[in-house]
Structure 1
């Protein structure tokens, strides 16, 4: 979509879809921990099980942070950026085209520059949380695959 739609259209679609994605991610992380806890009695938990629970808790924490904070702030900041860009006739370019006018706007407008920096920070933190969830789920699957022989 980012290569075929105007930047602001693509950004608006992302702002609508990401909250659903973040909520689904949080729900699945919580569901994973719940199912694991229900199938492993606490009196029989070994070191591997404790590690698995920690992985689930880290995944839940990252997903909830993303859902409740980083994702929401990034969405609000991108909406503000789009308003400023619209006032300057920007945002209808497709893909990476038109980055030079935005670069010039950053150079000439301290407010826009600060918004862009804040957005970059929260977008990076949101991406880091998302990546952390993917890694945690991968580790969980690796642990589960290692236990297949016991089934």
Structure 2
């Protein structure tokens, strides 16, 4: 396919799985890792965690935002699938997940149960922190709106 960049080509490979990804993935499970990899930012997470949004719309928006990040977002997205959705990762890539965690602390093999436990705890704590930050942002916006209306 001439005229298609490498960034676009990697995401075109996922088009066949787009609806499966939207239906299967819980964005709250993978967004902490994507934020850690610096492909999603706090404002985008705030928009994704607004109450009242349908999960399907959140999944679509997440994939659309990631697609704009090119190869970096694609790689981080596949790593998040490998960690949180290994069966889905295998189905999409045809490879077995190797459970390599490549975050800010560098790669770490998760061959041991302790490493796997620590990775799951880290993910859980990141989800809790992300939810708390999103709630603070929401409350700050509400407070600012009330302050502006009061003047």
Measured against the shorter chain, the TM-score band is 0.3 to 0.5
**Larger RCO: 1 or 2 (CA < 8 Å, sep 6+):** 1
TM-score of the superposition, structure 1-length normalised?
0.33
- TM (norm. structure 2) is 0.33
Task: Indicate the structure with greater strand content.
Answer: 2
The structure with the greater share of residues assigned to helix is: 1
